[in-house]
Amino acid sequence: MGFWARVSRFILTKRYFILILIAVATSFLASQMQYMRFSYTEANLLPENHPINIEYDHFLDLFGEEGNLIILAVEDQSIFTPKKFNDWNKLSKKLDSFQEVDFTIAVGDIQKLTKNTKTKSFDLEPLYEKAPETNEDVLAIKKELFENLPFFDNILYNKDSKVVRTVVYMDKTIVNTAARKDFIFQELNPLIEQFEIDHNIDVRVSGMPYIRTMNAQNIIDEIGMFVVLALGITALIFFFFFRSIRATFITLLVVSIGVIWAFGFIGFFRYEISVLMALIPPLIIVIGVPNAIFLINKYQQEVKKHGNQARSLQRVISKIGNATLLTNITTASGFATFIFTKSQLLREFGIIASINIMAIFILALLIIPIIYSFLPLPKEKHLKHLERKWIDAIVNWMSYVVKHHRFSVYASTIVIIILSMIGVFMVKISGSLIEDMPKGKQFFKDIVFFEKEFGGIMPLEIVIDTKQEKGVMKLSTLKKMEKIDEVIEEIPELSKPLSILNVIKYSKQAFYSGKPQYYQLPNNQEKNWILSYAKNSSSNLEMMDNFVDSTGRYARITTFMKDIGTDKMQVIEDRLSQKLSKEFPKEKYNTSMTGKALVFLKGTNFLINNLVVSLSLAILLISFFMAFMFRSFRMIIISLIPNIFPLLITAGLMGYLGIPIKPSTILVFSIAFGISVDDTIHFLAKYRQELIANNWRIKPSVYGALKETGVSMFYTSIVLFFGFLVFTVSSFGGTIALGGLVSVTLLFAMVSNLLLLPSLLLSLERSIANKETLKKPVLDILTVEDQNEDK
């Protein structure tokens, strides 16, 4: 008795034990769902020991968490009326009272720096003593703010558009925890919404903690939507093909258990749910349904042929089990190659996806035959789809094309390859923190608003190491920093910089009685006077603490970036690096650029390089499976051509449609290749069986394989196409691109496997159709039915 015969015997005789085992495993994994965690930080695409990450961690050690600002803004000029103006400042005070907030700065909180000649110190005085009661009071404050306090320009207001801001500094210890989400949804958003209703004013909200929270919530909302849509679409298509409520229900039961297992494994491994991880449950549905199609289709074919239920179920397991095992292994391999990348995000995705693909195969192989063993035989109406004429017409048309128009197939292939290659050279590489975020959501529109008004919301940090204590306060260092500021201000994609220079300039302005024309760097003599005043100040200019470390050795220059791609960022980085090298020679200073936005952009390039390796590994791994199955080098080459060809078409389409290579779209190639090669395995397995049955005659073998596998390949490809198309309803740009591109790739792969592959086999018949080049495979794979079985 063969291996698969023993497996089928075990499944059918131990069916109660197996069902109990599945129920226990499902209950356990369902209990693990409580440990699922949603990501509260940006995806770090780089390994922990990468130099870019090490630099960023060093920055955090010196200055603490950078991404803890939530920014509120109002562009409505009616804010400068007593009631609205006072309530705007009260909103700030209310937010300041929450324990999740370190402090807030609004116009009402402004403390002017003034010179005290008696104590030779600087004092802080409020911008106004009492709340304004008339329009004239508010306009006087407005004039003082916009005309005499340049220090607060681009911090609390935009001088040109008169937009005002409130800055909320969240507690750094909770900014990357679940407490941040609770604060934003339960406290911040309700307060802002009430303010908008009370005053008929739109409040813009942004900042990295806010963006991350709203984005994470969007991911949570979409997981449920994806699962429901994937179940609904695949169930409809399945029912359309099989016209059986019973078969549809069984399939939905299998994939529903698969979804529970998928969530359970994520919880079991304690992984965070990111945009990428959120794709796995619907992915399992889309990949699981084709397994059910092959198993149920085979069962119904057997029932139609001889009507013996036990024999039919045994053959389902022994024949289709083997083929679907190998196809699921190749699909899982496509995902498993992500495990070998150095990115934690991709590694986790690869582990969970590959485990669950094999899990859904096991569930389908066990549950479908066992449930059918308890049910009566399918009725005649449930078997009618096996004789559907329109499917036969499609398969006959493919046979006709392969038989009479192979030249047209090759000519079309060559033309498409040339056009695709042109498109490939048009593909750009891109990556940004917010590029794939849902553009229809209000929080994304607010990002665009802040980019326009204040130059961006994604922090870019420049760290200057003077290599000596208090080296930052040397006038020579300050002047060099000013040169860097000038370059930053010339770059339209960056906001006005913030650094110790702003504090020093403000101090000089205060030293000269607050006259705004003195908002500039002091000379050496002025600097000594100002520092002597600063030392005598009770506040000791605490504003400096944000820009200089406690030893006075390190300084930071903070600017904010607009949503730019990696290509533009590289140009900006090169320009800043050249200026830094010129102003701060390495023998005296160390300089570095960091910040979450830069880390993400660097991670994008790193990820793309790793995914090229991942795709190459997938091709090699699947080639190994082909060699293992067919033991023929020529068959490996022939089998790879129709699967690499669709990838080339997709890459070309990305160029023509302007879809860049980025973390979300680069996944398309490994995923699509791992899935599309399944069709090749089914076709070649049946083709080899036909060769033996037809005494190594190519033509009848190819047409026989096409007729037998064409229907199942068509069914599964349609399910996969529409299944992945579900992702295009996402609000995330990357998910939309991933769903659309994988769908298109798999459609091309189906056509390629049903037209190009048979054509190649027919054209190369002399070199491959013999017992030497097609030795007996290590595994006897049969996809539909063994013709000799019934003889």
| Bridge partners (DSSP) listed for residue 164 | 74, 157
Average pLDDT for 421-445: 82
- Helices 596-630, 51-63: axis angle to 10 degrees equals 150
Phi, psi of 160 (to 5 degrees): -80, -50
Question: Hey, which of 43-57, 472-486, 663-677 has the most confident mean pLDDT?
Answer: 472-486
pLDDT digits (tens, 9 = 90+) for 738-752: 889 989 988 898 889
Provide the pairing of β-strand 111-116 with 121-126. Answer: antiparallel
Per-residue pLDDT at 780 exceeds 70: no
CA nearest 152: which of 138, 167, 139, 137? 167
Give pLDDT, residue 768. Answer: 57
Distance CA 217, CA 407 (A): 53
Residues 113/510, Cβ–Cβ less than 8 Å:
yes
In eight-state DSSP terms, residue 238 is: H
Give pLDDT, residue 540. Answer: 45
Give pLDDT, residue 784. Answer: 39
pLDDT digits (tens, 9 = 90+) for 12-35: 899 999 999 999 999 999 999 988
Model pTM?
Answer: 0.77
Count how many Cα atoms sit within 13 Å of the Cα of residue 714 in the half-sphere of its side chain: 17
Q: How many CB atoms lie within 10 A of CB 2?
A: 10
More confident: 230 or 771: 230
Give the chain's length: 791
Which long-range CB contacts under 8 A does 320-323 form with residues at least 24 apart? 320/294, 320/295, 320/783, 321/4, 321/7, 321/8, 321/365, 322/4, 322/779, 322/780, 322/781, 322/782, 323/294, 323/681, 323/682, 323/685, 323/781, 323/782, 323/783
Distance CA 297, CA 305 (A): 12
Structural domains in the chain, sorted by start? 3-42+213-425+600-790 (1.20.1640.10)
Give pLDDT, residue 387. Answer: 64
Residues 209/67, Cβ–Cβ less than 8 Å:
yes
Distance CA 356, CA 265 (A): 8
CA nearest 516: which of 199, 152, 58, 774? 152
Per-residue pLDDT at 118 exceeds 70: yes
Comparing 50-54, 336-340, 386-390, the range with the smallest average pLDDT is 386-390
Residues 682/782, Cβ–Cβ less than 8 Å:
no
More confident: 527 or 350: 350
Give pLDDT, residue 464. Answer: 94
What element of type H or E holds 215?
Answer: helix 208-242
- CA quadruple 207, 208, 213, 214: dihedral, nearest 10: 60
pLDDT digits (tens, 9 = 90+) for 533-575: 877 765 544 556 678 888 889 999 999 888 777 778 888 989 9
Give pLDDT, residue 479. Answer: 93
Give the angle subtended at the CA of 118 by the CAs of 112 and 121, to the nearest 5°: 45
- What proportion of the chain, given as a percentage, has pLDDT over 70? 92
270, burial (CB in 10 Å: exposed 0-12, middle 13-18, buried 19+): exposed
Give pLDDT, residue 84. Answer: 93
Phi, psi of 543 (to 5 degrees): -60, -25
CA nearest 563: which of 302, 261, 206? 206
pLDDT digits (tens, 9 = 90+) for 254-263: 999 999 999 9
Distance CA 782, CA 318 (A): 9
Q: How many CB atoms lie within 10 A of CB 749?
A: 30
Question: Hey, which of 120-129, 187-196, 526-535, 598-607 has the most confident mean pLDDT?
Answer: 187-196
Distance CA 174, CA 502 (A): 29
Per-residue pLDDT at 772 exceeds 60: no
What element of type H or E holds 115?
Answer: strand 111-116
Per-residue pLDDT at 783 exceeds 60: no
More confident: 707 or 391: 707
What tokens appear for 661 in the block? 């290579």
More confident: 787 or 351: 351
Give pLDDT, residue 782. Answer: 47
What tokens appear for 107 in the block? 């116009």
| Residue where the block lists tokens 């970036």 | 561
What tokens appear for 328 in the block? 């699921």
CA nearest 354: which of 231, 262, 292, 228? 262
Q: Is 740 helix (H, G, I), strand (E, B) or coil?
A: helix
| Bridge partners (DSSP) listed for residue 272 | 37
Residues 106/169, Cβ–Cβ less than 8 Å:
no
Residues 281/259, Cβ–Cβ less than 8 Å:
yes
Residues 6+ apart with CB under 8 A from 569: 561, 598, 601
Query: CA-based Rg of the chain, rounded to a whole angstrom?
Result: 33
Distance CA 311, CA 743 (A): 37
CA 414 to centroid of chain Cα atoms: 34
Give pLDDT, residue 785. Answer: 42
pLDDT digits (tens, 9 = 90+) for 592-651: 999 877 887 777 777 777 777 777 877 887 777 777 766 677 777 888 888 889 989 999
DSSP string over 587-656 = TT-EEEEE-HHHHHHHHHHHHHHHHHHHHHHHHHHHHHHHHHHH--HHHHHHHHHHHHHHHHHHHHHHHH
